[in-house]
A and B are shown apart, each in its own frame.
Chain A
C-alpha cells in the first residue's frame, strides 16, 4: 500500500535568498557539501522563531496539523545544526508547498480579490473603490473543522462545574474545586479528534 500523500503546506511568501555559504579563510567552497533546507522548513523557522508564533497557531497558518508542524520544525533544526557543525552550505529549495495570499470580499459589489503586495494592507475594493471589505479567511475558518480547543471547557463529572480549558494540560489532571473529583473535556469547537 502506498503511504498517505503529504498535505500541501501553505507558505506566506518565498524566502528572500536561495541559501547560505560558509565563511572563513580555510573554506574552499568547491569542496564544501550542501544541506538542502526545504521551503516548508524555512517557513516553520520563520513562523516559530522569527514571528514568535507557538506551534499550535503556526500549524493553523500553514494549514497542517500540529504534530506535522513539530516534525518539520525538528527536521529544520537538525539540518541547520548539521550545516553549522560541519560547516556546510545551505540551499533553500523544494518541498511540497504553495504560496498563498490573503483573500478579501467586497460587500458593495460582491467581488472577491487577493492582496499581492503582502506588505501593504488593502483599504478599498480594487474594482468599485468601496471600503466595505472584509477578510475572506475569517469566514472560511468558521466552516473549516480546525483543531481549535481554545474555546473548550473542562467540566466536572459529578457536580457539573465548568471552567475554561487550559491549553496543554489534560482535563483529567484538573480537579474540581467544589467536590474534588476528576474533570473531563467539554467541546465547544466543531473539531473531532
Chain B
C-alpha cells in the first residue's frame, strides 16, 4: 500500500507540511518495500488550482492514503471520489520518520 505524506523538506528528518496543495515535497511511502520517494511539488507557487493539480499528481502514483495538516474545500470531494483516505494531523512538529513509524503500528 502506498501512502503520500506532505513534507517541508526532502529527508525523513523534515517535518510535515501543514498545507496539502502548496507543500514543498510529497513523500510517497510504500509499506511493502518500505521505500520512500520524494517528489518536489511543482504547484508550490501556483496562483490557483494547486490543490486539484496536486491531487492529480499524487493519484498517478496510486496512493491509498494521504497524510497532511489540512485539505482544502476544492479537493475534499475530489479525493473522496478517488476513494483515497485523508488523514489530518494537527501537530505541526511531527517529523516524517515519526509518521512512517506510526504507520507500522
Binding site for B on A (CB under 8 A): 14, 98-101, 109-117, 126-130
Contact = CB atoms under 8 A, between A and B. Distances in A.
Given A126-B65, A128-B105, A114 B83 contact: no
B37 interface: no
B87 interface: yes
Interface of B: 65, 67, 76-77, 79-81, 83-91, 99, 102-103, 105
Given A127-B99, A127-B103, A111 B87 contact: yes
A114 B80 CA distance: 9
Contacts of B89: 109-111, 127
Contacts of A14: 81
Given A98-B77, A100-B76, A100-B77, A112 B88 contact: yes
Contacts of B90: 110-112
A63 B76 CA distance: 17
Contacts of B85: 113-116, 126
B87 A127 contact: yes
Interface of A is mostly: loop
Most chain A CB within 10 A, of B91, B103, B105, is at: B105
Nearest to A112: B88
25 contacts: A98-B76, A98-B77, A100-B76, A100-B77, A100-B80, A109-B102, A110-B90, A110-B91, A111-B87, A112-B88, A113-B86, A114-B80, A114-B86, A115-B85, A116-B79, A116-B80, A116-B83, A116-B84, A116-B85, A126-B65, A126-B87, A127-B87, A127-B99, A128-B102, A130-B105
A61 B79 CA distance: 21
The 3 closest A-B pairs by CB, nearest first: A129-B105, A113-B87, A116-B83
Given A109-B102, A116-B79, 8 more contacts: A14-B81, A100-B80, A113-B87, A116-B84, A117-B83, A127-B99, A128-B105, A129-B105
Contacts of B99: 127
A188 to B, nearest CB: 32
Nearest to A125: B105
Nearest to B83: A116
Contacts of A111: 87-90
B20 to A, nearest CB: 14
A109 B90 CA distance: 10
Contacts of B91: 110
Nearest to B91: A110
A99 B77 contact: yes
A112 B80 CA distance: 15
B80 A127 contact: no
